Chain A
Amino acid sequence: MQPVSTSTQALPTYPPEVHVALLTYLVQLADTSLVLGHRLSEWCGHGPVLEQDLALANIALDLLGETRSLYQYAAELEGQGRTEDDLAFLRPATEYRNPLLVEQPNGDFAHTIVRQFLFDNFHYHLLQQLQHKPDERLAAIAEKSVKEAAYHLKWSSEWMIRLGDGTEESRQRLEKALRTLWRYADELTTPTPAEQTLQTAGLLPDYASLLPAMQAHTARVFADATLPLPEGVVMQQGGKLGRHSEHLGYLLAELQYMQRAYPGMTW
């Protein structure tokens, strides 16, 4: 897709290490919303009921919109002539920087809800702070996206409660999903070297400052869902540094197929 317009905004100037860290981080954020948006789009036509099928597609679309703004910014900041499409379609899995959580398969509806809840709780609270940080363009993207992320968090939180405090079947499925997915939660708030550089430079909130609000919301949702908080789970990470599970390769094979098979094609 062509961007609506090429921005003519002046690009910020940072010291080299901050510039590189910002570029890495923009790609990480964009990869994250692209991969999760793609996963959600896999539900299209398969949702449990029409209204929830629409909800999943709507959330996927919001995430894709955020992705495009971030890749466009990254492409301009990089200044190597790459476009948003090049970044999405022409990088191998090892160059993708999304956390492991978002590439996990949809599984059943409970899996999709747990994955979404863990992500939304982080995403919403991150964007809330990011919109007040000094990088003007990133803050503007956050200000735009945080309104949408609030709807997402409300939706996934309410489904956590419905499924947890629902039928025996829904609760068992939710518990199973938690056993599978909780291990990917901590990676979201564990900073990479690039994120640490940006935190030191004041461009990114310190993740410790997000935790109280995130944990309070989790505690409230789990209490309403009558679920105990998982304890003693060994955490997995690596996606933000390019070490992915096998699932990402299959996802990208489908996402990137057209541009790989017919380079430069348009419609």
Chain B
Amino acid sequence: MHKPIAETQKLIANSQQLIANNIWQLLEEVSDPEVPVLSILDLGIVRGVAVEGDQVSITITPTYSGCPAMNTIATDIRLRLLAEGYSNVTIRTQLRPAWTTDWMSAAGRQKLEEYGIAPPVDGTATGHLLNLFGADTAVRCPLCKSDNTHLVSQFGSTACKALYQCDDCREPFDYFKCHA
């Protein structure tokens, strides 16, 4: 008598896994509203997808505390899933462990550079108080690929970016700050 129940449970588990896989694929189509070339998976903010019955639960972590894109992203996730018939969706935010640019995918980094934003240079989390007037992180210009660039301001067009300028092609560009 137990065997059919175990089989059924296995089938349910398999179908839930299939649904979760499908949802991960759909999330790949949800982009960052500020940096539209990046999907939210590239950005590394989706921490988990859980499926139970028709209930879908997605956990995301904010990049910066005040990032106004988070509300838009939550809405975009709901709309994308609703379009595929998932109406019972809960989106949780998780602060800990805090988001880091280490979670950004290699594909995401490449897309950023092609889009004209220098990707984070790992292991260069600055902002440490002992590093006053310290040397700027060496960042390659996404346009002419020169390493001859300088920091204009740690605070750029959005919370996650710093402003740089290239000393060869003279173009200003955004740098996605290393945040670790």
Binding site for B on A (CB under 8 A): 1-2, 4-5, 7-8, 51-52, 54-55, 57-59, 61-66, 68-69, 124, 136, 139-141, 143-145, 147-148, 150-151, 153-155, 157-158, 161, 217, 221, 224
Contact = CB atoms under 8 A, between A and B. Distances in A.
Interface residues of B, number: 36
Nearest to B97: A143
B115 interface: no
A143 B96 contact: yes
Contact of B66 (A62, A158, A224): A62
B156 interface: yes
Given A147-B179, A151-B154, A1 B71 contact: yes
Contacts of A4: 60, 70-71, 74, 91, 93
A55 B93 contact: no
B65 A65 contact: yes
Which 8 pairs, one residue from A and one from B, show the smallest C-beta to C-beta distance?
A: A65-B65, A65-B66, A140-B96, A55-B155, A61-B66, A58-B155, A151-B127, A51-B153
- Of residues B70, B127, B155, which shows the largest number of chain A Cβ atoms within 10 Å of its Cβ? B155
- Of residues B67, B125, B129, which shows the largest number of chain A Cβ atoms within 10 Å of its Cβ? B129
Contacts of A161: 132-133
Interface string B51-71: 000000000101011111011
A158 B60 CA distance: 34
B98 interface: yes
Contacts of B66: 61-66, 68
A143 B159 CA distance: 17
Contact of B65 (A69, A157, A158, A224): A69
Interface string B138-178: 00000000000000111111010001000000000000000
Interface string B119-134: 0000001111101110
Given A148-B64, A224-B132, A51 B127 contact: no
Contacts of A153: 129
Contacts of A147: 98, 125, 127, 179
Nearest to B162: A151
